[in-house]
Structure 1
Amino acid sequence: MPEIEMPKSHGTARRSRLAAASASLIAAVALTTVPAASAHADSFSLNCAPHTVSVRITDPGPADQTLWGELCYRGSTEPSTVQILVHGAAYNHAYWDFPVGNGYYSYVQAATAVGYATFDVDRIGIGNSSHPASSSVGVTAAAVSLHDGITALRAGSVDGHAFSHVIIVGHSLGSYETWVEVATYQDVDAVIVTGALHGVNPAAPPTFFHTDAYPAVMDPKFANSGLDTGYLTTKPGTRESMMYSTATVDPAVVTADEANKDTTTIAEAQSAAPIFSLPPTQAYSYKITVPTLSISGTDDFFHCPGVTLYDCNNTASVEAFESQYYQPAAHVQIVMMPYTGHALALSTTAPATDAVMLTFALSHVAP
């Protein structure tokens, strides 16, 4: 995939041009994959409904937890392919369908427009899903619960429709948990990971977990939540510097991001850290055998500054490093979004990111 070039200047005009170009691509693909849309506009309306799936967090173990997700698709008939969307730390399902910009920051809207169903989940311990003791909510627990969610989608236990194909889409910590899930269960047809490279800014983990995060119950939003002190959230005013690039940040998004913030756990941090110390051929990602896209921003605070293993502004450099962590069967594609921070779906480049993700998805697993 060719490297994406964008001007360094930014503002309303550039955002409008980017949105128009990306929307045109998505719309063109939609017309080829959902031919009835133009003839029956009302049948192309977006249908969304919440569902709760009983899941485990240990394998073997009891299905005594609940995974919440919102299933969306266009028209009256569900497609054969669903994308399960997995958000990152201190986010929830709103990351993929953000309540700002009338769909500008909604991967759910973009993916359903080209014919896919989406199952946009709150990871275990987050939002509308169950909240077990924080010490039990690590990356393996999340992977087990996601596997049970995927199994339910394939079995028809969600909305009474059995999906033939599943694409898993992760972001940040959700991408790390995606690596673990797919490596363990081999139950999806394609993988998209965002904000997830194998090099880590040495300043990022201590900044997030020690400087910018605190027990969630100390935050006004979660003061009466009953969460134990192993659940963390971000301190007020810290998200912009961690999650965005100054070149592609929308102030309205930052305000809503703070209002919609959610939690993570100490156990997730502790269990995620060893993932990045594994040699390439022992990494979880190396066990993936289906088509894989890895897309990140060139200004990603967690995976670019302070990293000498590759140069985020040079796609070939990132590709040379990251390809070690995937075996040939994954046919991994690496894309770096210019002037974009860690929260790709919430940056002004979001429509372009969506277009890259959907071009990949459509080339491997049809809706």
Structure 2
Amino acid sequence: MTTLSPERVTLSRLHAPTLQTVPDAVAENLRRVRAATTARIMAVVKADGYGHGAVTVARAAVDAGADWLGVTDVAEAVALRDAGLTVPILSWLNPSGVDAAAAAEHRVDIAVGSVEELRQLIADAADPVRVHLQLDTGMARGGAPLEEWPELLRLARTGRGRAELVGVMGHLPRADEADPAANAAAVLRLRQGRDAVLRAGFGPVLVHLAATSGALTDPATHFDLVRVGAGLVGIDPSEATVLAGASRWTAPVVHSALVPAGTAVGYGGAHTTDRETHLSVVGVGYADGIPRELAPGAGVEIGGARHPIVGRVSMDQIVVDTGSVLFPRGVVATVFGPEGGAVPSVQEWARWAGSIPHTIVTGIGARVQRSVA
């Protein structure tokens, strides 16, 4: 039997479960996108920077050359301004509506995807608000269809002085296929929307369609600007480009025991040991973002090796089979990280959960402390 000493432990305090963001990885990913396009780059830091900290990710991206920032609510944009970020910011989706006064005061562009939205914004704006008209390019979840474009443009003309049309945008529904043919219809539709705007006497306008996968795989989608969010933190939905993982999630072993063969583990005895073995309890569970339903093979790194999770995921804990090695209380486990090898990646966790990497990084709970490398 081998016993490994903890890296750091006192009688009462352990290493707290922590998600550490790696700004150098964000910068490297921005550079990889820059190598794939001549368009300007918007660093999208919605959902608290995909769980990595909006301000931390934004600063790293801007320092690496991002030209714009993107968010989904004016309040998120104001927080970036308060943090000292001065590059242009676009807010779209806006689930709480638009605070027109705050948008004008803090120089936040607003995406508008319907006649109703534009009419309301014009009514609310006391000072000019910069507007990007959003076209439905095949998602059917936002953006105005081309059939409504004439009315949108008529309204934009009458609303000049309160809503200044400066951009046209869409979204690719199939960019994760990494096939330019799958994007062709959306590209054509956005060109039609742009041309209608120019014919109506507006312009020049900033045109943008591609997110991470389009930016990395299809130059025809780039137009004037590409919007990169998931890619900043190491996720290419198309899996066509290897990006750098931008975070590391660690948590302590809080209990270990040697158990005999035939020991039932966790709720319902969903796992039974088939030999004498050591079990370590790691202090994170589904309340912290560990997916409750995991495929066989899911594991964490402890002591330089990967060890499988056994039994059901609990609210606050997971149980790990460490075989012949007893890990004392306080040893640090790595749930995921950028190192590779024994350390699982975010992409592996997504496969184990039957999901996508985005849900893993954005689902980490508030009990997990945050730090910056």
User: Normalised by the shorter chain, which TM-score bucket?
Assistant: under 0.3
Of the two, which has the highest radius of gyration?
A: 2
Structure with greater proportional helix content: 1
**TM-score, normalization by structure 2:** 0.26
**TM-score, normalization by structure 1:** 0.27
